[in-house]
């Protein structure tokens, strides 16, 4: 149960089977930092590739394909005072004809973060939305494990291995579960958002570099098909795909399986519970693969 303080020196813009930067054990904690989506660090220096450069990979001792890796976010917090957003809705989230009314050029939005007070304030460009201050709600947009089959997948997108899911539910306190596809699992973390709406519909959260602390646990011989997560109130299955319909299909299928394998429900029970109680959240509708979270409240789950 060691705690490792790790200072990254290089970053990856794809998630694949690269040389590990640190080997850690089941139960260990890592304290590290991540760059923002554009490759800039806490001092604003451009030190990593685009998009969404990753810190890692971290090799988890004993992890083998067919296991599940649990990653608990102990701490997620911005480590500098300026964050950046797009100021125009992504053309793919509005009616195609409405795009004809869009400005052809836009300016990057700049936010001032109060790291003690826990707020983000929009500072430019000028808009009559101002003054506009939001509470910080720090989350990781892109993180995951090395995919199967020798793939190295761009940090622009996501899949069964995680990646750029941009789901605002990946907050401090959440535990995320990944299928292990390669020896050592090879965990990557990056792409902190100080705040993000559902769907990441301008194509960004408030992009900023982060301090990150996480703890890993290994579940041997436990095979899952998609990332899963858990917080105080819900269990959550993630689906990543386009269109949204397919992301929802993946997430719902994974949840139906989960309820039967881990909560002992028969099929009628699992389907009936989902039918009247399921909750969905839209992670992102911007990246090449969209993300849907399928949630069930712990309060209605069978006790196991």
270 binds a second copy (CB under 8 A): yes
110 binds a second copy (CB under 8 A): no
Per CB under 8 A, the segment of 26-34, 52-60, 212-220, 262-270 that binds a second copy is 262-270
DSSP reduced 3-state for 260? helix
Which residue in 21, 185, 206, 224 binds a second copy (CB under 8 A)? 206
Smallest gap from residue 22 Cβ to a second copy (A): 20
78 binds a second copy (CB under 8 A): no
185 φ/ψ angles, rounded to the nearest 5 degrees: 65, -45
92 binds a second copy (CB under 8 A): yes
Report the chain's C-alpha Rg in angstroms.
19
Query: For residues 102-122, b (16+ Cβ closer than 10 Å) or e, as one string?
Result: eeeeeeebbbebebeeebbbb
Smallest gap from residue 168 Cβ to a second copy (A): 10
DSSP reduced 3-state for 122? strand
Q: What is the dihedral of CA 205, 208, 212, 218, to 10 degrees?
A: 40
Which residue in 205, 218, 224, 235 binds a second copy (CB under 8 A)? 205
The Cβ of residue 241 has, within 10 Å, a number of other Cβ atoms equal to 21
Long-range CB contacts (within 8 A, 24+) of 132-138: 134/195, 135/195, 136/77, 136/78, 136/194, 136/195, 137/168, 137/171, 137/194, 137/195, 137/196, 138/76, 138/77, 138/78, 138/171, 138/172, 138/192, 138/193, 138/194, 138/195, 138/210
Residues 5 to 34 in contact with a second copy, rule: CB under 8 A = 12-14, 16
C-beta of 174 vs 273, nearer to a second copy: 273
Residues 112 to 171 in contact with a second copy, rule: CB under 8 A = 122, 125, 127-130, 132, 134, 149-154, 156
Per CB under 8 A, the segment of 21-29, 64-72, 180-188, 285-293 that binds a second copy is 285-293
240 binds a second copy (CB under 8 A): no
Which residue in 3, 23, 261, 267 binds a second copy (CB under 8 A)? 267
Q: Write out the H or E segment, with its range, that includes residue 257.
A: helix 244-262
**What x-and-dash track marks residues 46-65 binding a second copy by CB under 8 A?**
---x----------------
Smallest gap from residue 59 Cβ to a second copy (A): 19
C-beta of 143 vs 181, nearer to a second copy: 181
Per CB under 8 A, the segment of 30-38, 66-74, 87-95, 227-235 that binds a second copy is 87-95
197 binds a second copy (CB under 8 A): yes
Smallest gap from residue 259 Cβ to a second copy (A): 9
299 binds a second copy (CB under 8 A): no
Question: How far apart, in whole angstroms, are the C-alpha atoms of residue 220 and residue 62?
Answer: 9
Smallest gap from residue 31 Cβ to a second copy (A): 27
C-beta of 114 vs 279, nearer to a second copy: 279
- How crowded is the C-beta side of 195, counted as CA atoms within 13 Å? 23
Nearest to 77 by CA among 140, 30, 134, 168: 140
Torsion region of 26: left, alpha or beta (phi above 0 gives left; psi -120 to 50 gives alpha): beta
Assess contact for 158 and 287: CB atoms under 8 A. yes
Assess contact for 88 and 205: CB atoms under 8 A. no
Smallest gap from residue 25 Cβ to a second copy (A): 29
C-beta of 81 vs 217, nearer to a second copy: 81
């Amino acid at each position: 149960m060691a705690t490792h303080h790790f200072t990254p020196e290089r970053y990856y813009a794809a998630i694949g089977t690269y040389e590990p930067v640190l080997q850690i054990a089941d139960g260990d904690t890592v304290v590290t930092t991540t760059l923002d989506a554009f490759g800039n660090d806490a001092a604003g220096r451009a030190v990593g590739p685009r998009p969404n450069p990753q810190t890692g990979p971290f090799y988890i001792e004993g992890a083998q394909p067919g296991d599940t890796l649990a990653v608990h976010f102990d701490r997620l917090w911005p480590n500098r005072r300026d964050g950046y957003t797009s100021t125009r809705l992504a053309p793919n989230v509005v009616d195609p004809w409405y795009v004809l009314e869009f400005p052809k050029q836009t300016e990057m939005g700049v936010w001032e973060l109060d790291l003690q007070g826990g707020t983000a304030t929009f500072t430019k460009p000028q808009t009559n939305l101002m003054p506009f201050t939001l509470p910080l709600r720090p989350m990781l947009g892109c993180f995951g494990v090395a995919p199967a089959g020798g793939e190295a997948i761009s940090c622009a997108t996501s899949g069964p291995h995680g990646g750029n899911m941009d789901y605002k539910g990946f907050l401090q306190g959440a535990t995320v579960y990944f299928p292990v596809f390669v020896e050592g699992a090879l965990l990557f973390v990056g792409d902190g958002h100080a705040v993000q709406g559902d769907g990441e519909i301008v194509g960004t959260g408030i992009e900023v570099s982060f301090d990150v602390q996480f703890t890993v646990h290994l579940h041997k011989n436990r095979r899952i098909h998609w990332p899963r997560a858990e917080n105080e109130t819900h269990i959550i299955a993630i689906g990543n795909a386009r269109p949204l319909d397919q992301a929802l299909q993946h997430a719902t299928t994974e949840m139906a399986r989960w309820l039967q394998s881990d909560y002992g429900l028969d099929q009628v029970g699992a389907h009936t519970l989902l039918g009247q109680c399921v909750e969905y959240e839209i992670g992102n509708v911007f990246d090449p693969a969209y993300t849907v979270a399928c949630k069930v409240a712990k309060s209605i789950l069978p006790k196991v």
